[in-house]
Every structure is written in C-alpha cells, then in structure tokens.
C-alpha cells in the first residue's frame, strides 16, 4: 500500500508543479521529449518516469527532485 500512496503523491506533485510553473501537458511533454499521453500516464500514477525523464522534468520546471517525489521513491527510481 505504501508504494501506491507514494505513486499517487508523485502524480499530485508533478501536476501541481507543472501548473504552478505555467506549463500545460503539451508544453512540458515537448520540452522534455516525451509524448503528452506518456506525461499523463506518469502524472496519473500509472507508471514511474525513467531517470532521464525525471531529470529533464526537474530541469525544465526549475525544481528539486523532492518537489516532485518523496526521497523514498527517488531511491526506487534511481536504484
């Protein structure tokens, strides 16, 4: 259950950060080199991003990994 809770948290944090920075899904997905539907799947918690995608997202949004995901889940993504 803990993984599901963290997965849902990731969706909410990406969405909130994207909106806060003024990005729509199309704009962010183009900027980080993935399809809009892939971003939607990640935001909705159905799939974890790759390390490369998370890094691009962090750089594009000008935020920290912790702004997008908990430390525990960062360890899973980067392991």
| Average pLDDT of the residues in 62-69 | 87
* Cα distance between residue 79 and residue 73, in whole Å: 10
SS3 annotation, the chain: CHHHHHHHHHHHHHHHHHHHCCCCHHHHHHHHCCCHHHHHHHHCCCCCCCHHHHHHHHHHHCCCHHHHCCHHHHHHHCC
The per-residue pLDDT for 1 is 40
User: Is a pLDDT exceeding 80 seen at residue 29?
Assistant: yes
List domains and CATH numbers for the chain: 2-77 (1.10.260.40)
In terms of pTM, does the model score above 0.85?
no
Q: What angle do CA 30, 4, 75 make, to 5 degrees?
A: 70
Mean pLDDT of the chain, nearest integer: 84
């Amino acid at each position: 259950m803990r993984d599901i809770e963290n997965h849902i948290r990731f969706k909410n944090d990406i969405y909130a950060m994207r909106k806060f920075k003024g990005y729509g899904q199309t704009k962010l997905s183009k900027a980080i080199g993935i399809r809009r539907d892939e971003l939607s799947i990640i935001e909705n918690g159905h799939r974890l991003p790759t390390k490369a995608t998370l890094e691009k997202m962090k750089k594009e949004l000008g935020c920290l990994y912790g702004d997008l995901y908990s430390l525990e889940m960062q360890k899973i993504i980067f392991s």
